[in-house]
Amino acid sequence: MSTIGINQIVVVQEYFVSLDEFNCHPILCTQGDLVEIILQLLVFAEGLSKRAYWLRQKTDPLSMSAYMAKVLYNDGTGTKPSPLANWEHLQQELVGAEQAQDIFAVFQEQSLEVAQSTIMKAGLPPHQGCSWLVEPYLSQEKPIKFSGTDIAGRHGGENHAGSMVDALAHFSYIHSMQSLVLVDLPGIPQVNTHPGLPGNVPIVLFNVQTHTQEGSSGLGDQGQAGIDNFLVQHECVALCVQLQLNTLMDM
């Protein structure tokens, strides 16, 4: 089968999440009108619960900028979720990604960036109802795993990027009034610039997960137990001390 043969043109509506500035409640918003995208129906990456496909903007055929379109294929029970269950799960992930953006905007670390995510949902047959979490595809390099779902990062001062990410995780806990912590933080060195991301940022974090007090951020959210686990495992780095996060630690 040729590569061209597995490219599908899909008409989608794009969605993003905005956080209410008063109570931080997430609001799902549409972005623009229906657009055509090119989806390559060949799995190029697969995790325990999600698969990723290539996606390109049809209006921008000469651009080399590709995106990853992720879909849930295993809901944790071993069964394939319905399009509706997938849509609901992706919304939970998008809320987590937006919360990470919100925290990161205050953290303001120049050597890190958090990839912006959206959801695209097919608006016409034959794909109607299918949805994908869309993130920029940054490079072929293997992601750097700074922390895991239940393993907090422990980077010494000699690992600059690693210790920045450790401090960001601690900062997320303090900034969110102890209601969540950013975990499972993979980052990728930015080799090529990508629209929407500053070109001079060396490490871009993506696929950010959270443990929340209510356990409301979807698959992998271990709730308060996950937050407690982070607090036990985290060791403050120099930036934590500089930001006085260590004096605010509630342990």
Residues 6+ apart with CB under 8 A from 19: 25, 26, 27, 98, 99, 102
Query: 139 or 244: whose CB is closer to Zn ion?
Result: 244
Per CB under 5 A, which region of 121-129, 155-163, 172-180, 234-242 contacts Zn ion? Answer: 234-242
What are the φ/ψ torsions at residue 29 (nearest 5 degrees)? -125, 145
| CA distances, 102 to each of 26, 30, 75 (Å) | 11, 19, 27
Per CB under 5 A, which region of 30-38, 127-135, 205-213, 240-248 contacts Zn ion? Answer: 240-248
Q: How far is the CB of 209 from Zn ion (least distance, A)?
A: 19
249 burial type by CB count under 10 A (0-12 exposed, 13-18 middle, 19+ buried): middle
Q: How far is the CB of 166 from Zn ion (least distance, A)?
A: 7
Alpha helix (H) residue ranges in the chain: 83-107, 160-175, 223-233, 238-242
Looking at the DSSP assignment, which residues form a beta bridge with residue 210?
Answer: 182
Per CB under 5 A, which region of 27-35, 44-52, 109-117, 228-236 contacts Zn ion? Answer: 228-236
Query: 170 or 211: whose CB is closer to Zn ion?
Result: 170
Looking at the DSSP assignment, which residues form a beta bridge with residue 205?
Answer: 114, 187
How many residues in the shown chain lie near Zn ion by CB under 5 A?
4
In 10 A of CB 63, how many CB atoms? 11
Q: How far is the CB of 174 from Zn ion (least distance, A)?
A: 9
- Which two structure tokens, joined as six digits, stand for 81? 């979720």
- Which two structure tokens, joined as six digits, stand for 251? 């342990």
Query: Distance (Å, rounded) from C-alpha 125 to C-alpha 57?
Result: 19
Per-position x/- string for 73-102, each x denoting binding to Zn ion as judged by CB under 5 A, each - no binding: ------------------------------
Query: 90 or 180: whose CB is closer to Zn ion?
Result: 180
Q: Is 236 in the site for Zn ion (CB under 5 A)?
A: yes
Q: How far is the CB of 168 from Zn ion (least distance, A)?
A: 10
Q: How far is the CB of 167 from Zn ion (least distance, A)?
A: 6
Indicate which single residue of 170, 175, 194, 211 sits in contact with Zn ion (rule: CB under 5 A). 170
Query: 89 or 170: whose CB is closer to Zn ion?
Result: 170
Query: 50 or 170: whose CB is closer to Zn ion?
Result: 170
Per CB under 5 A, which region of 20-28, 128-136, 195-203, 236-244 contacts Zn ion? Answer: 236-244
Task: With beta carbons less than 8 A apart as the criterion, state whether 161 and 180 touch.
Answer: no
Where do contacts with Zn ion occur on this chain (CB under 5 A)?
Answer: 170, 236, 240, 245
